[in-house]
Amino acid sequence: MPTRPHKLLALAMLLAALAFAGWPSTQPATAPAPQPRPQEASAAPEVPEDVWAMDALGFRMRIPEGWTPIERGSRHYLQRDPCSALSGNFCAIWLPNLFGMTLDGLLEENRAELGVNPDLELDSIEITRAAGREALRVAYHGRPRGTVEDVRFLAIVFLDRGRQIVVSACARESDWPAIETIVEASLASLGPAPRR
């Protein structure tokens, strides 16, 4: 049976987390130079510097101290060390919800997909609350095919205007203990973006 696009959530999170710098990164990434803000009056309040404002994706999250926001095309990252993406990173992406899947449907399909993946092992999957709404929380680990390092993933997925919004954290298995509390605190800070 062909795999439908929504069945690829776990793979999409993995690829998005790794696409930033390859596997593993050999080229240091650089943060974009800060752009001056226009001096126009705005009805929107100023966003604090320690907030990752992903308003187009429907959420905001506290940036861990010392982590660097980086954008590559439509992909958004927070990196613990821009020269080593797998030392710890967050990634924010959206996927179309072409088949109108509910969170329950996504939970069951991802449980089934990760259950038969020989490279990744599901640690937990549940429906919870994040960014002011119900969300899917998925944790898994393993050594993705074609790679040489064990990695750990934790993702929050919520539905917004026909899209699956995925906020994932990823790190080498050996780096995960150093960032686990930071990842949990950041994900706990997820809040809804102001509606326009």
Give the pTM: 0.77
> Is the pLDDT assigned to residue 16 strictly greater than 90?
no
- Residues 109 and 100: beta-carbon distance below 8 Å: no
> Is the pLDDT assigned to residue 18 strictly greater than 80?
no
Nearest CA to 191 out of 52, 56, 61, 49 is that of 61
* Structure confidence at residue 43 (pLDDT): 52
* Structure confidence at residue 30 (pLDDT): 47
Nearest CA to 16 out of 62, 73, 82, 61 is that of 73
CA distances from 193 to 45, 161, 183, 186 (A): 12, 13, 20, 15
* Structure confidence at residue 143 (pLDDT): 96
- Name the residue ranges covered by the structural domains of the chain: 5-22+49-191
> Is the pLDDT assigned to residue 162 strictly greater than 60?
yes
* Structure confidence at residue 45 (pLDDT): 57
Q: Write the CATH number of the domain with boundaries 5-22+49-191.
A: 3.40.1000.10
* Structure confidence at residue 158 (pLDDT): 94
Distance CA 154, CA 65 (A): 19
The residues pairing with 156 across neighbouring beta strands, listed in sequence order, are 137, 167
Condensed to tens digits (0 to 9), the pLDDT of residues 47-88 reads 788 999 999 999 999 999 999 999 988 889 999 999 999 999
- Residues 156 and 136: beta-carbon distance below 8 Å: yes
Condensed to tens digits (0 to 9), the pLDDT of residues 163-184 reads 999 999 999 999 999 999 999 9
Condensed to tens digits (0 to 9), the pLDDT of residues 104-146 reads 999 999 999 999 999 999 999 999 999 889 999 999 999 999 9
- Residues 186 and 65: beta-carbon distance below 8 Å: no
Lowest mean pLDDT, pick from 30-34, 62-66, 94-98: 30-34
